[in-house]
Structure 1
Amino acid sequence: MDKKPEKDPRFAVAEREAVIGCVLAVINFAWWYGFAYGLGSEKPEDYTYILGFPAWFFFSSILGFLVMLVFVFITVKFLLKDVQLDDRDDENGGAKSA
C-alpha cells in the first residue's frame, strides 16, 4: 500500500504568507488606481497641488508608498512567522528521520 508522505508544516506557513503578500499587492494597486484615476481624471488646468505635486500623484504614489510601508511593517511584525529552513528534525537529535 502506498502511503502518502506527510506534508511539511512549513508549506502551510508559506502558503498563508503568500496569500498575505498577494492581498498587500492588491491593496496597493487598488489604492494607487483609485487615487490616480479618481483624482487624475480632471483636466490638468483644474488639478490641485500638494507640495508641488498634483493631488492625484501625491495621494496615489507618495502617500500610497508611505501607507504601504506601514502596512508591510505591521504585516512583518505581527502576521509573518519565523520558520526554520533546514531539514533537521529536532525530535531525533538534529538528524533527519528516514
Structure 2
Amino acid sequence: MGDGRTQKRDDLRFKIANREALMGVILAVFNFIWWFAFAYGLGRKPVEEYTYIFGFPAWFFYSCIVGFLLFSTLVFVMVKLFFLEVPFEDREEDAE
C-alpha cells in the first residue's frame, strides 16, 4: 500500500484530468485571443468606416458571433475526440 500522495500521483485518472484541464485552458486562452484580436483589431476604425455583415459591425460579427460558433464547435469536437470517460470510484474501494 503506500503513501496516499504517491498513489494519487500515479493514478491514471489524475493524469487524464490534468491533460483535459490543460486542453480546456488552452482553448479558453485561444478564445480570448480570437475575441480580442477581432474586437480591438477591427473595432479601432472610426464608426463611419465600419463594414457590416448581416447588420452587425464586422468586428462584432467575427469576435462574438463567429467566435461563439467556432469555439462551441471546437469544444464539442474536443470532448468527443480527446476526453475520456473515467470512473470516479477508487480502485481500492472496489476491491474491498
* TM-score category of the 2 structures, normalised to the smaller one: 0.7 to 0.9
* Number of equivalences: 91
Query: Is 1:25 matched up with 2:31?
Result: no
The ranges of structure 1 where at least 4 consecutive aligned residues each deviate by more than 6 angstroms after the TM superposition are none
Higher RCO structure (Cα 8 Å, ≥6 apart): 2
Q: Distance in 1 between matches of 2:91 and 2:15?
A: 18
* Alignment-mate amino acid for residue 12 of structure 2: P
Q: Distance in 1 between matches of 2:12 and 2:70?
A: 32
Query: Is 1:80 matched up with 2:79?
Result: no
SS at match of 1:66: helix
Q: Distance in 1 between matches of 2:41 and 2:53?
A: 16
Question: Which residue does the alignment assign to 1:95?
Answer: 95
Gaps of 5+ in 1: none
- Give the share of equivalent positions with the same residue, in percent: 51
Query: Is 1:54 matched up with 2:54?
Result: no
1:28 Cα deviation (Å)?
A: 0.4
Q: Distance in 2 between matches of 1:73 and 1:14?
A: 17
* Alignment-mate amino acid for residue 26 of structure 1: V
1:95 Cα deviation (Å)?
A: 2.6
RMSD: 1.6
Query: Is 1:63 matched up with 2:62?
Result: no
SS at match of 1:42: coil
1:76 Cα deviation (Å)?
A: 0.3
